[in-house]
Structure 1
Amino acid sequence: MTKLDGNERWKGKMLLTEHQEQYDQRQVIKSAAGRPTSEELDMIRDLVVLPHLITMIQKSLEDMAFSKITLKGVVIRCLEVIMFKITDDYYVLKRELKQRNIKVSDEETNDGILYYRYYCRGYEEKFGIVRETLRSDVTLKLTKYTNDIGKLLKQVNKGK
């Protein structure tokens, strides 16, 4: 509470239109300077999705270790290559966000929605993702990584 609160003398003061416009422009510039771009929002979303994908791959690796599949070794090697690629992408993404002065932290889980808080150049916002959406994003990312492995194997096969 300031000294002017409750002081009736200040209620009738007029503000020139041009001063109000200048003030509004300054406020817009201040708020826009810290807001993340759409590319940065995609990076934040990927930063949220990739750890879940790494956890899923690790679980699959543990399950494969105890399975009795004939080509178990091939599947395990492919999963390891995918996990290393995801981990590399995760750390590159984390480093890029740090350079752009963006931090992401876990907030809470509520009714099937995972909430994260991100801080972007002085701007603070909450980001929520529904579990089903997270699952579909994980599936899309995993498909992308497996397709990359398939392309890599095709290139190696053509080189021989």
Structure 2
Amino acid sequence: MRETAEELALVKKHTIYPFLMSTVENDKKKIAGSNVKMKSVYLQYLDNLQAKISLDMYQCKKNLKDNKIIIIEQTKSDLGLIVKYSNKEYKHKMDLHWSKVKVDVTLLLTDYMKVDITELI
């Protein structure tokens, strides 16, 4: 059975969210260790951003469950991520290259931050 676009998007988001959270956490550590004048403001903004992402991660997991999609295995390789999952008793595999993961994390982050991606260089 072929997966729907919605199911593919759910699996992909479920896979990307942890990388987005790690990216924000790493940036928080860099800001905390820097000499930025408005450090507390930036850190609070990123804390709020992480809270929003956490809520969306929870909703994504709920949507996976509601659609009877089970993540069987998630593996990292030199080339990217391999996600094995099942939906309605059919097994599927998704390969995401690291370059695609980076683009997806960037797109999600700009969406959360309400930044126009076309203005980034």
1:104-159: CA deviations, max 9, x gaps? 143433341210101101010111100001000000000000018xxxxxxxxxxx
Structure 1 residue ranges without an equivalent (≥5): 1-30, 149-160
Alpha-carbon distance in 2 for matches of 1:104, 1:142 = 23
Structure 2 residue ranges without an equivalent (≥5): 116-121
How much does 1:68 deviate? 1.2
Higher strand proportion, which one?
2
How much does 1:56 deviate? 0.9
Find the counterpart in structure 2 of residue 51 from structure 1: 18
Alpha-carbon distance in 1 for matches of 2:19, 2:73 = 13
Find the counterpart in structure 2 of residue 19 from structure 1: none
Find the counterpart in structure 2 of residue 140 from structure 1: 107
Find the counterpart in structure 2 of residue 81 from structure 1: 48
Question: For residues 44 and 70 of structure 1, do their structure 2 counterparts lie closer, same or farther at Cα, with a shift above 3 Å needed?
Answer: same
Give the aligned length: 115
- Larger RCO, structure (CA 8 Å, separation 6 or more): 2
1:71-102: CA deviations, max 9, x gaps? 11111011111111111101101011111110
1:115 aligns with 2:82: yes
Identity between Structure 1 and Structure 2 (%): 28
Higher helix proportion, which one?
1
User: What TM-score do you get using the length of structure 1 for normalisation?
Assistant: 0.68
Which contiguous aligned blocks of 4+ residues in structure 1 show a shift greater than 2 angstroms?
105-111
User: What TM-score do you get using the length of structure 2 for normalisation?
Assistant: 0.88
Q: Equivalent residue of 2:6, what SS?
A: helix
